[in-house]
Amino acid sequence: MEPNAQENAREREALPENASCRCCVVGGGPAGMMLGLLLARAGIDTIVVEKHADFLRDFRGDTIHPSTLEALNDIGLLDEFLKLPHQEARELKARVGDVTIPLADFSHLPTRAKFVAFMPQWDFLDFLAAKAKLYPTFRLMMSTEVIGLIEEGGRVAGVTARTKDGALSIRADLTIGADGRHSRVRQAAGFAPLDIGAPMDVLWFRLSRKADDPLESFGRIDAGQILALINRGEHWQCGYVIAKGSADEIKAKGIGLLRERIATLAPFLADRVAELASVDDVKLLTVAVDRLPLWHRPGLLCIGDSAHAMSPIGGVGINLAIQDAIAAANILARPLLDQQRPPDESLAQVQARREWPTKATQGIQVFLQKNMVARVLAAGGKIEPPWFLRLFIYLPILRRLPARLIGIGVRPERVRAPAISLPSEQ
């Protein structure tokens, strides 16, 4: 037998055609992996199902916010986590026209880590997966794509999935949809999100970083253009904000135009914009802002992007996803441990707890989209910072508010779900 065939045969033997658990989490993103870890840590038999074979995918946000670091501290993992390679941003600045505005200062946050950590999302997810696997109550099924829900007597009783070896059904007392903004689970449940909309899309790309480049991550805003630059050590992760639906037009004009615009916005990058060989080096993020009116049905709850896709303003999507996971674990661990199917009221409690922070954050994002992003994108001439932004230069105390909103968010969650001892500690 060929080595690959042997490998496949071994995996097939290990993979049950039908599995069951108390909680099946669909999606191994930030929300799903954090919830999987917290439930397994509470002693609840949990399966996380992820359609990809690994966590190594395109850039999709590398920000680990102080609130997430605080949650890792709550479960005793922060020091180990911070040993992984990362960068730390203690403040955020924006350059509007010719004026640099210090927008957010994280140093006053009431958290142990007073910074945003930048780390590839796959390293973060690998870390959560490795910690969750220490618990015998945790199973991670990679390369397993959920295609539907099992419904029985008006309840969701698990999921159907496909693997490279065939169909699989996983029965569960509770199913969690944490499968992102194109959620199959929410679609299968018949949930339709309320589309709030956004005036922009984002083109993402990388440029190399040199030793004498600025240290901090920052935004550059000028006539009709917005460029976000995130210091990732060896490279800059760049986000170029464009008017909604204009990506094809920009790409059709060729990479030369984009190179020119980047060099004008951030002149220190002019010597390396040629690293963008063609428009294929640029990835489009179609910005969506939406939320579900109802996050749950008997036996099913949606969290993270599956319940609410956030605008990229403030880079808080991961933060909210993780906060949902913590709230869900806090509220649902006890009923799951008591060997009950979590009653509808518990699922409604999770929505009630997290819906308000979602609406408030989206409200602020939509306000900024309309009053800043859309205006800047439509502006023709030179941009001047509005008076209220100039106040941030002279009144440092003002920088604490954006730091709080970005770093901790509205209604922060602390881990309160119980914990069992690890087998190694027994």
Ligand X SMILES: Cc1cc2nc3c(=O)[nH]c(=O)nc-3n(C[C@H](O)[C@H](O)[C@H](O)COP(=O)(O)OP(=O)(O)OC[C@H]3O[C@@H](n4cnc5c(N)ncnc54)[C@H](O)[C@@H]3O)c2cc1C
Strand, helix or coil for residue 95:
strand
Q: Exactly one of 184, 232, 353, 354 binds ligand X (CB under 6 A); which one?
A: 184
Q: How far is the CB of 69 from ligand X (least distance, A)?
A: 13
Tell me whether residue 319 or residue 385 sits nearer to ligand X (CB atom): 319
Q: Which of 250, 269, 310, 313 binds ligand X (CB under 6 A)?
A: 310
Nearer to ligand X, 385 or 409 (CB): 409
31 interacts with ligand X by CB under 6 A? yes
Contact with ligand X (CB under 6 A) among 157, 302, 321, 398: 321
Stretch that binds ligand X, among 73-81, 107-115, 178-186, 327-335 (CB under 6 A): 178-186
User: Which contiguous run of DSSP H or E holds residue 156?
Assistant: strand 155-163
Q: Which among 46, 9, 7, 30 is positioned nearest to 135, based on CA atoms?
A: 46
If we measure between CA atoms, which residue out of 144, 158, 180 comes closest to residue 32?
180
Whichever of 29 and 43 has its CB closer to ligand X, that residue is 29
DSSP assignment of 309-320, as one string?
EPPSTTS-HHHH
Show contacts with ligand X in window 87-146 (CB under 6 A): 145-146
Q: Using an 8 Å Cβ cutoff, are 62 and 120 in contact?
A: yes
Q: Does 317 bind ligand X (CB under 6 A)?
A: yes
The region of 11-19, 53-61, 357-365, 383-391 touching ligand X under the rule CB under 6 A is: 53-61
Pairing of strands 99-105, 225-231: unpaired
**Residues 194-253 close enough to bind ligand X by CB under 6 A:** 204
- The token duo for 410 is 């509205």
Give the pairing of strands 145-152 and 155-163: antiparallel
The counts of H helices and E strands in the chain are 13, 21
In the complex, the smallest distance separating the C-beta of residue 393 from ligand X, rounded to whole angstroms, is: 25
Question: What tokens appear for 212 in the block?
Answer: 């004498």
Q: Which of residues 57-96 bind ligand X (CB under 6 A)?
A: 59-61, 63
Cβ–Cβ under 8 Å, residues 270 and 159:
no
For binding to ligand X (CB under 6 A), which residues are involved? 26-32, 49-52, 59-61, 63, 145-146, 178-180, 184, 204, 285, 304-306, 310, 312, 315-319, 321
